[in-house]
Amino acid sequence: MTSPFLSGCEAKAPQNLLDLAATFAAPRVAIARAGAPLPMEAAEDATKAGLMIPVFIGESDAIRAEAVKLDWDISAYAIHDTNGEEEAGHTAAALCGAGEADVLMKGNLHTDVFMKSAVSREAGLRTGKRFVHIFHISHPDGGKPILISDAAVNVAPNLETRHDCIRECADLLIRLGNKRPKIAILSATESPIPSVPSSMEGRALSDWAKENLPYADVSGPLAFDLIMSPAAAATKGMGADPVAGHADAIVVPDIVSGNTLFKAFVYLKGGCAAGIVTGAKVPILLTSRADPAAARIASVALAAITCGLPK
């Protein structure tokens, strides 16, 4: 029996995100080990929407066989024949490092193999910044999205990594048209309490942001109700805080809280979660077998916006 808490809403790729992506040239997307239904379906949808130009990496026979199943003519696109997960991951990352592709996308290979290829020095994708995963989550009825970082890559990010999370969220929000991003630092309380380490870190991160990010409002620590609810913020005497009740992004203390939070938005409210890894030379897309088509195409749109290639 389906839980009554689960939403029956179907996720929808936000039209404003697709429209903004369409104002840029379609990036070349290197798909690591593309020869499987999920990556090929995602590539077809995004290519036909004008959001990407696929660069296929993997077993060429499998890639062509999947294209035939989709009745998709891929003769105009490059195919790099490789064998197995590791070779596909290394080849796709190296193509991006060499400037022959603009986005790196996970296909039919394990995430640890894929990310190991992306972070290897030989790939040429390192920039000196930490890799940070950001979810852009939109409601099926539209309205303002919310970002969550980091729910997929950094397991227990230290303060320096969360500095990058805050900065990357702010910069992405500005790319999306937000003139002054409002970023909340998640904890279980709005007061710094030594027995709750994330609350102490939340205050330290907020203080750091005031000195280093003058173009954003950053507040922490904040409990979830104070992040999402203007009424809760007013009741608790935080109505004057520019972030409380009005956050555009949430920076979490660890992967468990971030992963739980993003899945709550998706499974309880039908949110569409577009995900991107920033901090590398190119945007990185981590697709999942559980991702609906809307989330996959929205992720490609987010990567196209991040690339910002002129038409």
Query: Which of 248, 241, 234 has the alpha carbon at shortest distance from 182?
Result: 248
Structure token pair of residue 24: 């840029």
Per-residue confidence band for 195, with pLDDT thresholds at 50, 70 and 90: very high
pLDDT tens-digit series, residues 115-148: 999 999 899 999 989 999 999 999 988 889 999 9
Average pLDDT in the 59-70 region?
97
Average pLDDT in the 225-252 region?
95
Domain containing residue 247? 130-277
Helix (H, G, I), strand (E, B) or coil at 35: coil
Per-residue confidence band for 12, with pLDDT thresholds at 50, 70 and 90: confident
The verdict on 264 and 163 lying in the same domain is: yes
Host H or E run for residue 10: none
The verdict on 295 and 160 lying in the same domain is: no
Q: How many helices (H) and strands (E) does the chain have?
A: 11, 11
240, burial (CB in 10 Å: exposed 0-12, middle 13-18, buried 19+)? exposed
Range 42-67 burial, b when 16+ CB lie within 10 A, else e: bbbbbbebebbbbbbbbbeebbeebb
Structure token pair of residue 220: 């922490």
pLDDT tens-digit series, residues 274-291: 999 999 999 999 977 777
Helices in 223-254 by DSSP H: which ranges? Answer: 224-228, 230-235
pLDDT tens-digit series, residues 22-36: 999 999 999 999 999
Asked if pLDDT for residue 82 goes beyond 90, the answer is yes
Measured distance CA(279)–CA(165) in Å, rounded: 10
The verdict on 229 and 145 lying in the same domain is: yes
The verdict on 167 and 260 lying in the same domain is: yes
The answer to whether the beta carbons of residues 287 and 36 sit under 8 Å apart is no
Model pLDDT, residue 149: 94
* Residue 10 vs residue 181, higher pLDDT: 181
Structural domain count, the chain:
2
The verdict on 170 and 263 lying in the same domain is: yes
pLDDT tens-digit series, residues 87-123: 999 999 999 999 999 999 999 999 999 999 999 989 9
The verdict on 184 and 259 lying in the same domain is: yes
In a domain, 107, yes or no: yes
In a domain, 54, yes or no: yes
Measured distance CA(281)–CA(129) in Å, rounded: 10
Structure token pair of residue 157: 């990010």
Helix (H, G, I), strand (E, B) or coil at 247: coil
Beta bridge partners of 105: 31, 285
Model pLDDT, residue 1: 52
Structure token pair of residue 95: 């193509």
